């Protein structure tokens, strides 16, 4: 099934909601649309994006109501796994951080040569790993996730591409395995443990 990126921007709120309460609400409502699996999320206090697997982007609109956050965009994407990603790697090693590098290509990047030139990797850069990238179908936007010991190491890996970076920021991540006990409590399948593309 295809992957979709759901992007959001939002204001920081002073209202603190218990994270487990929020996830219980989210997962309980997931019964309404069981054909969609939450794959992972990346972001910080002002913006973020979540990756879902499911049959159709249009029906992902239900998640907007369930999350109680407006969407900026829902886009089908292709995931390009980094050489360092490996099965199940979604977090930075201990003491490292995750970084997001976003690029836009006004004319698109349909050329295999352009895609190859932009392919972010961390070979030759100490203390940095390229984990994965998400490309939209038109090859106009890339979102690349790196793990690195320092911001400088991440920038070094990102700079291996000749293309300009529109946004480079440190991000946090959330993965359904973090909430596995809630999936179990609510009788939902641990879909991330099912063999297949992640």
Output the domain CATH number for residue 11. 3.30.70.3090
Could you tell me if residue 198 is inside a domain? no
Q: Tell whether 114 and 155 lie within a shared domain.
A: yes
Q: Tell whether 70 and 128 lie within a shared domain.
A: no
Q: Tell whether 86 and 113 lie within a shared domain.
A: yes
Q: For the chain, how many structural domains are there in total?
A: 2
Count Cβ atoms below 10 Å from residue 100 Cβ, excluding itself. Answer: 23
Count Cβ atoms below 10 Å from residue 10 Cβ, excluding itself. Answer: 13
Each of the 198 residues of the chain gets a pLDDT tens digit; together they read 889 998 888 765 545 456 777 777 667 666 556 678 888 889 887 888 989 888 887 777 666 666 666 778 888 998 887 765 554 456 777 899 999 999 888 776 555 555 555 555 555 577 888 888 898 888 888 898 989 999 999 998 888 887 889 999 999 988 888 889 988 988 888 888 876 554
The answer to whether the beta carbons of residues 37 and 191 sit under 8 Å apart is yes
Q: Tell whether 49 and 59 lie within a shared domain.
A: yes
Residue 95 CA: distances (Å) to CA of 91, 100, 147, 148: 11, 17, 10, 9
Q: Tell whether 117 and 158 lie within a shared domain.
A: yes
Question: What single DSSP character describes residue 83?
Answer: T
Q: Tell whether 55 and 117 lie within a shared domain.
A: no
Q: Tell whether 84 and 165 lie within a shared domain.
A: yes
Q: Tell whether 24 and 60 lie within a shared domain.
A: yes
Residue 50, Cα to own-chain centre: how many angstroms? 5
pTM above 0.75, yes or no: yes
Question: What's the confidence (pLDDT) of residue 115?
Answer: 53
Helix and strand numbers (H, E) in the chain are 5, 8
Q: Tell whether 21 and 59 lie within a shared domain.
A: yes
Q: Tell whether 92 and 33 lie within a shared domain.
A: no
**Domain span holding position 114:** 79-171
Q: Tell whether 123 and 141 lie within a shared domain.
A: yes
Question: What's the confidence (pLDDT) of residue 150?
Answer: 94
Measured on CA atoms in the order 81, 84, 87, 90, is the torsion positive or negative? Answer: negative
DSSP characters for 152-177? HHHHHHHTTSSSPPSEEEEEEEE-GG
Measured on CA atoms in the order 193, 144, 3, 117, is the torsion positive or negative? Answer: negative
Q: Tell whether 63 and 85 lie within a shared domain.
A: no
């Amino acid at each position: 099934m295809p992957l979709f990126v759901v992007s959001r921007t939002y204001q920081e709120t002073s209202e603190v909601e218990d994270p487990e309460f929020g996830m219980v609400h989210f997962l309980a409502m997931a019964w309404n649309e069981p054909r969609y699996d939450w794959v992972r999320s990346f972001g910080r206090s002002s913006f973020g994006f979540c990756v879902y697997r499911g049959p159709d982007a249009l029906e992902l609109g239900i998640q907007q109501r369930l999350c109680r956050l407006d969407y900026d965009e829902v886009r089908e994407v292709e995931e390009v796994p980094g050489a360092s990603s490996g099965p199940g790697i979604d977090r930075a090693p201990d003491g490292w951080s995750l970084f997001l590098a976003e690029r836009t290509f006004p004319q698109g990047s349909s050329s295999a040569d352009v895609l190859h030139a932009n392919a972010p990797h961390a070979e030759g850069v100490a203390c940095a790993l390229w984990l994965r990238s998400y490309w939209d179908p038109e090859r106009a936007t890339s979102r690349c996730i790196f793990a690195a010991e320092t911001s400088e190491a991440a920038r070094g890996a990102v700079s291996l591409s000749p293309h300009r970076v529109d946004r480079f920021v440190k991000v946090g991540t959330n993965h359904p395995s973090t909430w596995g006990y809630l999936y179990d409590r609510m009788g939902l399948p641990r879909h991330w443990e099912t063999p297949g593309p992640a």
